[in-house]
Amino acid sequence: MDFSAVGAAASEAFTLASFIGIGGGVLLGYIVGVIPGLSRSVAISIAIPLTFYMSPFIAISFLIGLSKGTAAGSAVSAILLNAPGEASSAATALDGYPMAKKGKPKTALQVGLLASVIGDILATIILIFVAIPFARVALLFGPYEMAAILAFALVFIAGLSGGSIFKGLAAGGLGIFLGTVGLDNQTGLPRLTFGYTELMDGMPLIAVAIGTLALSEMFVQSEKLRYDRAGMSVELKNDRSDHITWPLFRSIIPTVLRGTGVGTFVGALPGLGPSVGSFMSYGMTVKASKDPESFGKGNPKGIAASESADNAVIPAALIPLFGLGIPGNVSAALLIGAFAIHGITVGPLLLRDNPELLYSIFAGMILASLIMLALGWFGLMIFAQITKVPPHVVIPIVIFFCLAGMMLQGYGTFGLVILIAFAALGYLMKKYDYSFVTFLVAFIITPMLELNLRQSIILSRGNWEILLNRPIALFFIVCTLVALVALAVRTFKTGKPVANAPAD
């Protein structure tokens, strides 16, 4: 490890500007997380335009801080409202809401916060120690290996992050198709632009991300308003006996460590989102417990299991991103877009070309976790008030910021039309259970996939036998085929996906 780079990174991370940027991200994430219906990916997609004028380090740390903040904030609404801010906090509500109803809302929130922060910090440390060696190995990979790994990741995500494998692959196919719009790298000629000069640079990523994730989600939410407007909030009172105690904290530590392990494992695999991690951790904790009947009735270990895994997924999902340049979920895919906007290629090359930035981001992530703890601990009463904001107030404001995000990029009316078209597409995908995660990841990695595929074909002169000398590439091609067959058979046999949860 380059210690001078680590020292420089630490000094960059602990400046006033970093505190403001990262703290702002965590605070915004917390607020978004508390509001039911606003998810992490919605927040990141809307916030990307805000980062244009930040330095790359602060921009990326701001977005990662935002991501961490949403994960912690979503527990607040899960515990006080029984309406998780995100799907991944649904497991938290199972024990959090009954505990709050029993008169211990503050204790439940503190257990959730501490589990979140510990899970997050431990997973960040694991990320630092795993991603760097991973990236060093990945630097030895050529285009054959990268093309094979990208294809494998896409199939894996298609199979695990949505409805059936066929719907996932269809969404991926559409993402790849739209990802090829723009100037062809080799010929320099426009491809699938239909004569629109605005499409020469490809479909605008901001329009695709905000449309598919944020604007479509607001349309889904406004539709839900017709059927469900009620909300039952638990009040936070100044009860001196309602706080976490040392024996309680000590009793949840093993659960938090288990949750962190599960979350890290799930997060490192492409396609499995925090929802899978939190429910898997919750299930394992119930199974390991001597008193399984107490779960679902206000057991703090249930909250700790879910929250630690939920937060551990976020740093762990960056292992394939920093190690290989492959986004494992929507948030990571959006980070690729944010890196690209700042002119940085994420992946193993980041370690070679810009190690200071990578170390700064790691330092920023630790800082974000500490800010999250401070904000969550001292701002508990304020965040609890945000749960009272009705969704019909949130929807028009978020729609306004979606449109403003496009305007700030200077796309004008054409960009807005593309935005609403993608919002319609995202709405239909959510409605008919086509994986928008696979769509977005496919859209974002298509230029990389095509570049590696092209280099492979040119280097091999179209001779497939060359793969026999590339065992890693061959391994991933075989894995892709096996995964494809296994997931297809499973879809046909059970009619259900392996994990039906959005990997955001």
Partner 1 sequence: MPRSDFWSGLAVAAFGALALLWMIPNYAGSNPFAQMPPELVPSIAAWIMVVCGTIVAIKGAVIMIRNRMGPLTRDLNWPGIGWALWPFAYVGAAIWVMSFVKLTWFGPVLIGGMLLLLGERRWWMILGCSVVPVALLYLLSVYLMRVGVV
191 binds partner 1 (CB under 8 A): yes
355 binds partner 1 (CB under 8 A): no
Nearer to partner 1, 6 or 417 (CB): 417
410 binds partner 1 (CB under 8 A): yes
Task: Give, as ranges, the residues between 223 and 282 that touch partner 1 (CB under 8 A).
Answer: 223, 225-226
CA dist 500 and 491 (Å) reads 12
Give, for 148, the enclosing helix (H) or strand (E).
Answer: helix 143-160
**Options 413, 463, 468, 493; binder of partner 1; rule CB under 8 A:** 413
433 binds partner 1 (CB under 8 A): yes
Give the x/- contact pattern for partner 1 in 107-146, rule: CB under 8 A: ----------------------------------------
**Options 374, 397, 478, 489; binder of partner 1; rule CB under 8 A:** 397
200 binds partner 1 (CB under 8 A): no
135's tokens: 């990236």
In 10 A of CB 14, how many CB atoms? 12
464 binds partner 1 (CB under 8 A): no
138's tokens: 């990945």
Give the x/- contact pattern for partner 1 in 434-453, rule: CB under 8 A: x-----------x--xx--x
| Site stretch for partner 1 (CB under 8 A), options 9-17, 133-141, 350-358, 455-463 | 455-463
Q: Give one DSSP letter per residue of 184-233, joined into a string.
A: -TTT--EES-TT-GGGTT-S-HHHHHIIIIIIHHHHHHHHHHTT-----P
The SS3 of residue 352 is helix
430 binds partner 1 (CB under 8 A): no
Four-residue CA torsion sign, 82, 85, 87, 92: negative
Rg of the chain, C-alpha, whole Å: 22
Q: Give one DSSP letter per residue of 224-288, joined into a string.
A: HHTT-----PPPP---TT-S--HHHHHHHHHHHHHHHHHHHHHHHSTT--HHHHHHHHHHHHHHH
Using CB under 8 A, count the residues that bind partner 1.
64
Q: How far apart are the first and last CA of the chain?
A: 31
Write the single-letter amino acid at 491. T
Q: Which residues bind partner 1 (CB under 8 A)?
A: 50, 52-53, 164, 166-167, 169-170, 172-174, 176-177, 180, 184, 186-187, 189-194, 215, 218-219, 222-223, 225-226, 392-393, 395-397, 399-401, 403-404, 407-408, 410, 412-413, 416-417, 420, 423-424, 427-428, 432-434, 446, 449-450, 453-454, 457-458, 461-462
